[in-house]
Amino acid sequence: MFKSLKKLVQDMKQILTIALSLSGFFVFGQLTPRVSPQSKVEQKVGLTDISISYSRPNVNERVIFGDMLPYGEIWRTGANENTIVSISDVLIFGKDTLNAGKYSLYTKPEKDSWTIYFYKTIDNWGTPDSWEESNIALKVVAKVETQKTVLETFTIDFQNIESRGANLVLAWEKVRVEIPFTVNTDVKIKANITKVMAGPSAADLNNSAKYYYDNKMDLKKALEWSTKAVELRPEAYWMYLTKAQIQLELGDKTAALETAKKGKELAEKEKDNGFISSFDKIIGNK
């Protein structure tokens, strides 16, 4: 019995020792910085937001391109997890368009040019187990620029930033690649200008009028907005309710009754009992 108990104690000690060793390993792993630290570059180009998350390896006295990274092979464009590009709107590379979304950034370095791939899956460690052509959202070829001095840490950046475009820059060792792209700034600005010049929508006017009514602000101004709203959307019975409420608050019961009757008629066609009841309250207030 005593031998069995002694054996049990020894086994428990061994388990505890292993557990503490593993615990120390994981804590140590968490506290130790990565050899290739994580980085993130964010840039607004025109009205388009772009962010790139990637890990940054160092040269460390190695020959990178053509040796550590053989020419003609797909590279994760960084280290560790996928380098991920997030864009809020389309990017245009020459005649090709990359839609808004998230992509892995892969490259195939050659001596004189690189092929840049925006890849649809973003949960790979390194390159995908199976490279699928159907997952390539966009492919771009860019020329290599050779630098005189060594750039120790791999860098992704944006240069020549203008309202209509910029250059995506990949640089490491003595290699620099710039990929120019444009954005739809002009299209967006024209659409915004057209909207502003056309004036506020019926919904904008009605919401503004209701805000003024609810907060006991300038009711005459609120009535002006509300009147314009029902002129723009004469079928919107809920906007008649806003107008009738404002008229009633201003003391014009006759006008409020007329507006409420029009609104109720429209609400009855849509069988909207909630608004019918609200109009009835105003009509009964005459």
pLDDT in tens, 11-39: 655 555 545 444 444 444 456 677 889 99
**Sequence letter at residue 191:** A
Q: Which residues pair with 159 in a beta bridge?
A: 167
Most distant CA pair in the chain, distance: 103
Contacts of 238 (CB under 8 A, 6+ apart): 206, 263, 275
Residues of the chain with CATH 1.25.40.10: 200-283
- What are the C-alpha distances in Å from 207 to residues 198, 201, 232? 18, 10, 14
Spatial strand order of the sheet with 96-98 comes to 38-45, 48-55, 84-87, 101-109, 113-119, 136-162, 165-183, 91-93, 96-98
User: Phi then psi for 261, rounded to 5 degrees?
Assistant: -65, -40
Residue 225 pLDDT:
95
What angle is formed at CA 168 by the lines to CA 54 and CA 157, rounded to 5 degrees?
50
Q: Which residues pair with 113 in a beta bridge?
A: 143
Which helix (H) or strand (E) segment is 15 a member of?
A: helix 2-31
Using CA atoms, how far apart are residues 114 and 168, in angstroms rounded to an integer?
13
- What is the per-residue DSSP string for 199-222? ---HHHHHHHHHHHHHTT--HHHH
- Chain centre to alpha carbon of residue 6: 62
Q: Does domain 200-283 have CATH number 1.25.40.10?
A: yes
- Judged against a pLDDT cut of 90, whether residue 158 lies above it is answered with yes
pTM given for the model: 0.64
Q: What is the pLDDT of residues 69-108, one digit of tens each?
A: 999 999 999 999 999 999 999 999 999 999 999 999 999 9
